[in-house]
Amino acid sequence: MTPTSTIRAAVRSDLDALENIEQRCFNSDKLSRRSFTSLIKPGPHSSSVIVNMNRVCGYSIVLYRTGTSLARLYSIALEPSVQGQGLARKLLNHAESQARKQGCLFMRLEVRVDNPKAIALYKKLAYSVLDIIDNYYQDGCAAQRFEKRLQLEHGSETTKPLIYYRQTTDFSCGPSALMMALASIDNRYQTSRREELQIWREATTIFMTTGHGGCSPHGLALAAFKRGFSAQLYINRSDPPFIDSVRSEEKRQVIRLVHQDFCEQLQQYPSSSEINPLGPTQFKEILERHEHIIALISTWALNRNRAPHWVYVSKSDQDFVYISDPDTNDSRWQSETDFTHVPITIAAFINMACFGRNRLRCLLAIHPKDLE
């Protein structure tokens, strides 16, 4: 590695060099000048360049998902003429350092399966393979998804296959989160859009503030029971969920009737529902006791949108919960990687796991029937 190489934040005057590097390093999936311009501006990302012999010869871009402890290496490139000098390792180490400064627990990335040099470097630097994503790139090439834990004193490695299902409608986050839990428990369970819509039909409150209704926690519990699983609902209120978001008294009457029916049906499953204040102590106890949980959150901390949203809590440890969020929202520059098994500090998660003026909190634990 030449001692004259330095790394600094990318600036607007680097745009020509960045475009040139992109053209020389990639045949497809190239970043545009417009994208580089946006990624140089302040935001939930870090864009750096490496300068060798007074010339910009490489770059790295790291994305941070707001409200989480996850970083993703969005892109890294080094001109062919300076490869083999240790600059890629130096650039990657710097990217990891930037992510640590942001408090990130993990760095994730995707790499083409036909790029053995990059794969070898990631493995050498302690990245582990999570899975393979078919048809990830524009030319149809698959990607290997890698992960590295950045803070060794916190968190735990991802050791099991990641189950992810992206919701296909604006109102089916509940069914999608539930399907991820069921598929994680039993690999024979098949997720599908038909199943997603069927669960919604079984669990919907019918009305919300606008548009189609979301899913009742009681309805989702019933859907789990009907599919041969067991469920335990912890909720801090006994009144119909989400009713405070509906102004029409006629619609409120419908929601009350639906809620009453769900509660009566749950009576055939003794002790399946519990009124629980769900304060920090109770929250932590439930997270420790159950492996698969569906949680209601407000999306404000993630995207500044005050909406009720269901996520799958796929794991928790002493410091973090790991959520799989079914709504990727077609977010710019983000991929499924940014929404699967995402680490969030327990304190941050407890703050986001409530909704509405009445501060509704609910956790729905799912487990195999034989553990009921």
Q: Helix count (H) and strand count (E) of the chain?
A: 11, 14
Listed as ranges, residues in the chain with pLDDT below 50 are 1-2, 372
Note whether 197 and 170 are within 8 A (CB): no
At residue 157, the pLDDT reads 59
Question: Domain spans of the chain?
Answer: 6-149, 173-371
The CATH fold of domain 173-371: Cathepsin B; Chain A (3.90.70)
At residue 156, the pLDDT reads 58
Reduced to 3 states, what is the DSSP secondary structure of residue 190?
coil
At residue 2, the pLDDT reads 47
Note whether 50 and 6 are within 8 A (CB): yes
Q: Quote the CA–CA distance of 320 and 333 in Å, as a whole number.
A: 25
Asked if 6-149 and 173-371 have one fold, the answer is no
What burial class does residue 280 get, using C-beta atoms within 10 Å of its C-beta: 0-12 exposed, 13-18 middle, 19+ buried? Answer: exposed
pTM score over 0.85: no
User: Distance of CA 303 to CAs 66, 164, 275, 357, Å?
Assistant: 7, 20, 29, 19
At residue 362, the pLDDT reads 96
Q: Quote the CA–CA distance of 26 and 37 in Å, as a whole number.
A: 18
Q: Quote the CA–CA distance of 49 and 64 in Å, as a whole number.
A: 18
Q: Quote the CA–CA distance of 180 and 294 in Å, as a whole number.
A: 9
Closest CA to 138 of 176, 172, 112, 162: 112
At residue 158, the pLDDT reads 60
The answer to whether domain 6-149 has CATH 1.10.1060.10 is no
At residue 347, the pLDDT reads 92
Q: Are strands 45-52 and 308-316 parallel, antiparallel or unpaired?
A: unpaired
At residue 269, the pLDDT reads 94
